[in-house]
Every structure is written in structure tokens, then in C-alpha cells.
Amino acid sequence: MDKSSWWHRLCTFLSLGLLFLLLLAAHYWAGDYYLRLLNTTAVFITMAVSYNLINGICGQLHLGPNAFVTLGAYTAALLTLTPAEKQASFLIAPLVWPLSDLALPFPLALLAGGLVAVLFAYLTGFPVLRVRGDYLAIVTLGFGEVIRVLANNLQTVTNGPMGLKGLTPYTNLWWSWGVAVLTVATVMGLKKSGFGRAMQAIRADETAARAMGIEPFRHLLLAFLVSAFFLGVAGGLLAHLITTISPTLFTFFLTFNLLIIIVLGGLGSTTGAILATIIITWGNEWLRVVEEPLDFGTFRLPGIPGLRTVIFSLLLLVLIIFYRRGLLGRWEFSWDWLFRKIQGRPDGG
Amino acid sequence: MQPPLLSIKAVQMTFGGLMALNNFSLEVAAGELHGLIGPNGAGKTTVFNILTGFYRPTEGELSFAGTALNGLSPPAISRLGIARTFQNIRLFEELSVLENVLVPFQGRSRLSFWQAILRTPGFWREERWVRDRAWELLTRLDLAHHAMEPAGSLPYGQQRRLEIARALAAAPRLLLLDEPAAGLNPQETAALMALLQDLRRHYGLTILLIEHNMKFVMHICERLTVLDHGLIIAQGAPAEVRRDPRVIRAYLGADAGA
């Protein structure tokens, strides 16, 4: 066992090295368009994988990840803007005091974004985790809306509907992919520990789990906090990627997109969440073709705006009909599996 | 005389107007194999649900190894050393057989989140120890060759055994078995009897079991408690209980005892 785990570690380091080289190549040769796409992919991987910790691994239908992303985005943005920039942005009402004078380097601002999201998760965790099922979904949906409404109306903190503009685009490949790798490592590591087994046991049968000595509240709260931290950091990355944030960016549609990603990948599968994020973000770009005029030589098709959404809806319908458990179900990639495939040995054992 | 490991005193349990248990008292000595029998709806599983903290008794006192159980949550009771199986099998079906047995160890784990995430030496030490114990249990219960299969895909008899393995992983002193022989064929039932005797010797277990299979109960239990409509109608050695006219009447109907 020790020898094979040594091999696994080596393989993990090698593939991380490969990712590093690919990013290095992209850093030097990729154009702005692809850089943006790669950054978006990484931020969405972070969000989907950490969201999947609650919905997939713990099996609790949580509908408020947009709240954590919003908190992280606003916190990080307010901390990286210089006092002068903030004064220029807040036209209707000035920004409240400590925030108006505070300016932090980007990494600390990201961390602060994550921690604010964790604090919010901790405070809401007590009421939220007392309920289950549909009730949990409704309560979390409610908290998501509360945060959006606050962002829209707390003029002296968030600048209201005008949002925050002119953020420095600090988010680059190293930050976005660095955080994505850290998120995947944390969630995978958690899943393959006693904590993760307890979370999956709660998903499978909470009554039996309690009878076996598992405290559901303790484990669900832990998942809630870890997920909130990475969602918050992802919010900070997103803010400094698109450089302008406003409350409209963090509506229920963000939650909905994340939900589609994790259902597409297979609830509970981190590998699936990564794969689905890539399919959705890149697919969305490649399908742009259908919205532009197409010239087939003998006849021309005019571009139909919005056709991408129609195609995506159809693909999702097909998926729900033929792959009820998502693309990968609860399957998880492992080096063991890969070695078995290469050597042509059967699964299991 | 040694104080009993488990003592239930004058427990009453009502659901709305329904009296599920009335003045129920039971003492189980350490190392004893005690059977709880009675017709359907007599309140047997209610006793288990009270003992494991899923129901709060309306009245009465429960104590286990000198600790009062009243008001404790199911996980807390599990950590004190009471484990159970369920009448309708409740395995973690999508998890593998091995993972099912690994789960209860987390209930007693003192590892922190950071130790688990940072994969400290302490984490690996515990992980190895836990896995060794789990394999030991799977081997003893003859499930080791199915370790990587999802628990839900096992045949019925093996699922029942896995429930026992999972309960043992919680390191109980008292094991509560809810109809362990239900749905088993005669060979499997005989094997289960041998298994229970073996587990009891090896882990120094005290066992309280609910069962409808009379041959099984009479053969394996040292003492029996017979419940009918929430009331204890007989308590004692199997041979005495079998001759008790009230037991015969409860099982066979009012006329049979005459």
C-alpha cells in the first residue's frame, strides 16, 4: 500500500507539473480571449467543486452559493480599491469609514473575502442546518436573496445598483488555477478522510449515521464552512477578473449555472464537476458560431441570437433522459483506476 | 452481585393516546445474551429506539454501565458503547462495504479537520489503524472479498451480516440486534448462531436481540423477556418462558392456553 501511494503521489506531482507547463505556455502565447477563458474555467471549477461538497457529497440541496460568491467578491473588491478610487466611485453616498481608508494587497483581500463568507456561513449554519430537504433548499435560497438585496440597497457599503468599477485585473492564470488546485485538493482530501466518509454516510442514511456515532450537525457545518471559504475566494477572483461587479452578477442564475454544472458532472463527483465546468464554459464559447451568420456557399443562415441557450437546454434534456446520474455518477478519478485501464485489468479489488 | 450493564426502570412510552410501552423494566448483565420477543406491534423495536436515543421515553429511567441515558442523543449513546442494527436493513447503500464499516470510527475519532486536510502523520496513523480494524471485522464476518462492492449490491443475507459488522465497528459493549435472522434460510440461521457466539466470546459483548424465529431464540438466548401490547408478560430462562400459559396465549390466541 505504501509503495503504491508513493507512486500515486509521484503521478500527482507530475500532472501538476504538466498543468504548470501548460499554463506557462498559455501565459506566453495565448491571446487575451483564451486567457480570459482559462481564468473563467478555473474560477468556475473552484465554485463548482466547493458547491458540490454540500450538494453532492453531503447530499443537502443548498441553493444559496451566490451569497458566498457575492460576499467574497464585494469584500475583496472593497479591499483592493485604493481610497481615492473608492471616493471617485461612491457618488451618491460615501463609503463607510473603515472600508473607505483600507487598502490591502490582492492575496490578503482574497483571504478576507473567503473569511467573510465563512463567517456568514457560520452564522446562517445554525438555522439552516436544523432543517433538511426542501426546507433547507428554501432557507438557503432565501439567504441568497437577502445578500443580493443587501448588495443592491446598502448604498454606503456596496455602492448600490451601480456596483464597483475599475478594479485592477489582478486575477491571472496563477491565482485562478492555484486556487482551483487548492480547492480540488482540499475537497478530495476531505472526501477521502473520516470526515468525508461521515458526510457521505449522512447523505446515504442520516438515521443510520447517527446510530453509528456520527454527529450530522458537526460534519455538515464543516462542509458548509469549507465550501463557503472557497466560494468566497472564487468571488474575489471573479471580481478581479471582470473588474466590474454589480448585484445583477450574483442573482439566482449564478446558483442555477453551478447547479447545472454539478448535476451534469454527477452529484458528489469532484472529477465530474471539473469535467462539466470545462464542457459548459468551453461549449458556451464554441457554440457562439451558431449565433453568427453561417455561409454554406449555396445558401446563408442568418445568426439567431439566443440559439446557444436553446442548444444547451436540449443537451441537458438529453442528458437527463439518458444519464440520470450525470456524466460520471459518483465515480471519481484515481491513479489506481488509470493503471488498471492501462494494464487491461478489470475494475474492482 | 455485580450491577447490571444495562438497566431500564419503569419506562413508559406513549405516542399520542397509544401506549407503546407500559412500566417496562429490564436488567441485562454484562456478557448476557438476552432475547426480546413478542407478537408484532408489542413494542420491541420501541425499546431499541428508546435505548439508542431516537425516542425520548415519557417516563422512566435508563442507565448503561452507571451512566444515565435519558436525554442523550443517538451519537452520544453510540459513543458510550451501544450499537444497533435495524429491522429493515439501513446500510449506506452507495458506499462500499469497506466504507460502511469505516464510517463508525469517525464517531470516535479525535482527529481535527486540519490534521485530515494537511495529511499529518497522525492522520495516516489513524487511517491505517482504522483500516486494519475494518479489514479484521470484514474478515471475521466473511465479507472481505466483497470489500470494494457497493453495500446495496450484496445479497440479502450478507447485507444483514454487514449491518452487524458496521455495528461492531462502533466498538460496542452492548449490541442490539433487531431481527438478525429475519429472511435467512435455515443454513444461514445456523451460521448466524455460530457467528454470534463467536463474536460474543471474542469481543466480550453483551447482546440484546429481537427475533421472531423461536427455534433461534430458544437455542441461543440465556434469558428472555416477552412483550405483548407494551406490557411484559413473562421474563426468565427460555425453558420456563416456553411453558408460561400467558406466553402461549399471546402467541397462539385466547383459547389455546385453556
**Pair A129, A221: CB distance under 8 Å:** yes
Which set of grid coordinates corresponds to residue B90? 439501513
CB-CB neighbors (< 8 A) of A204 in chain B = 91-95
pLDDT at residue number A6: 85
Output the pLDDT for position B258: 42
Whole-angstrom Cα distance, residue A141 to residue B24? 46
What would the CATH number be for the domain defined by A34-343? 1.10.3470
Confirm or reject CATH 1.20.58.60 for domain B6-81+172-252, answering yes or no: no
Chain A residues inside the 8 Å CB shell of B103: 197-198, 201, 209, 212, 214
- The C-alpha atoms of residue B49 and residue B24 are separated, in whole angstroms, by 14
What residues of chain A score a pLDDT lower than 50? Answer: 1, 349
Q: How do the domains of chain B map onto residue ranges?
A: 6-81+172-252, 93-155
H or E element, residue B87: none
Characterise A163 by phi-psi region: left (phi > 0), alpha (psi -120 to 50), beta (else): left
Q: pLDDT at position A180, please?
A: 98
* ipTM at complex level: 0.93
According to the model, what pLDDT value does residue A1 have? 47
Per-block mean pLDDT, blocks of 10 residues, chain B (258 long): 88 91 94 93 93 95 94 96 96 96 96 94 96 97 95 95 97 96 92 95 95 92 93 92 88 59
Cell of A322: 439518458
Distance CA A279, CA A273 (A): 10
What is d(CA A197, CA A4) in angstroms, rounded to the nearest whole number? 22
Of A195, A200, A213, the CB nearest to B92: A200
- Nearest residue in chain B measured CA to CA from A217: B75
| Rounded distance between C-alpha atoms, residue A134 and residue A325, angstroms | 20
Residue B257's pLDDT is 43
Which residue does chain A place closest to B149, by CA atoms? A348
Q: Does B177 reach chain A within 8 Å, measured CB to CB?
A: no
Where along chain A do its domains lie? 34-343
